[in-house]
Amino acid sequence: MRFHVLTIFPAMFDGPLSESIISRAVERGLVRVNLHDIRDYATDKHRSVDDYPYGGGYGMVMKPEPIFDAYTAVKHAASLGEDTPVVLLTPQGTPFSQPIAERLATLDDIVLICGRYEGVDERVREQVANCELSVGDYVLSGGELAAMIVIDAVTRLIPGAVGSIESTQDDSFSTGLLQFPQYTRPAEHEGGKVPDILLSGNHGEIEKWRRRESLRRTYHRRPDLLDSVTLSDNDRRFIDTLRSNDN
Q: Which residues bind ligand ADE (CB under 6 A)?
A: 89-91, 115, 134-136, 138-140, 142-143, 146
Instruction: Give CA–CA dist 215/61, Å, rounded.
Output: 45
Of 16 and 143, which CB lies nearer to ligand ADE in the complex structure? 143
Of 10 and 143, which CB lies nearer to ligand ADE in the complex structure? 143
Of 135 and 154, which CB lies nearer to ligand ADE in the complex structure? 135
Q: Which stretches within the chain are classed as H helix?
A: 14-17, 20-27, 64-77, 98-104, 122-127, 144-155, 166-169, 196-199, 203-221, 233-246
- Please, what is the minimum distance in Å from the beta carbon of residue 143 to ligand ADE? 4
Active site residue: 171, 181, 211, 217, which one? 171
Q: Given the DSSP bridges, would you call strands 188-189 and 192-193 parallel, antiparallel or unpaired?
A: antiparallel
- Considering all CA atoms of the chain, what is the largest pairwise distance in Å, rounded to the nearest integer? 70
Q: Which residue is nearest to ligand ADE (CB)?
A: 146
Of 74 and 147, which CB lies nearer to ligand ADE in the complex structure? 147
Active site residue: 125, 156, 210, 216, which one? 156
19 catalytic? Reply is: no
16 catalytic? Reply is: no
118 catalytic? Reply is: yes
Running DSSP on this structure, what letter comes out for residue 13? G
- Please, what is the minimum distance in Å from the beta carbon of residue 94 to ligand ADE? 10
Question: Please, what sign has the CA dihedral across residues 9, 15, 21, 26?
Answer: positive
- Please, what is the minimum distance in Å from the beta carbon of residue 161 to ligand ADE? 23
Of 112 and 177, which CB lies nearer to ligand ADE in the complex structure? 112
Q: Please give the full DSSP string across 201-245, using - where no structure is assigned.
A: --HHHHHHHHHHHHHHHHHHH-GGGGGGS---HHHHHHHHHHHHH
Active site residue: 85, 91, 170, 181, which one? 91
Q: Please give the full DSSP string across 46-60, using - where no structure is assigned.
A: T---EEPPTT--SS-
- Please, what is the minimum distance in Å from the beta carbon of residue 79 to ligand ADE? 27
Active site residue: 40, 65, 69, 118, which one? 118
Q: What contacts 218, CB < 8 A, 6 or more positions away? A: 177, 178, 225, 226, 229
40 catalytic? Reply is: no
Residue type for position 23: S
- Please, what is the minimum distance in Å from the beta carbon of residue 92 to ligand ADE? 9
Catalytic positions are 91, 118, 156, 171
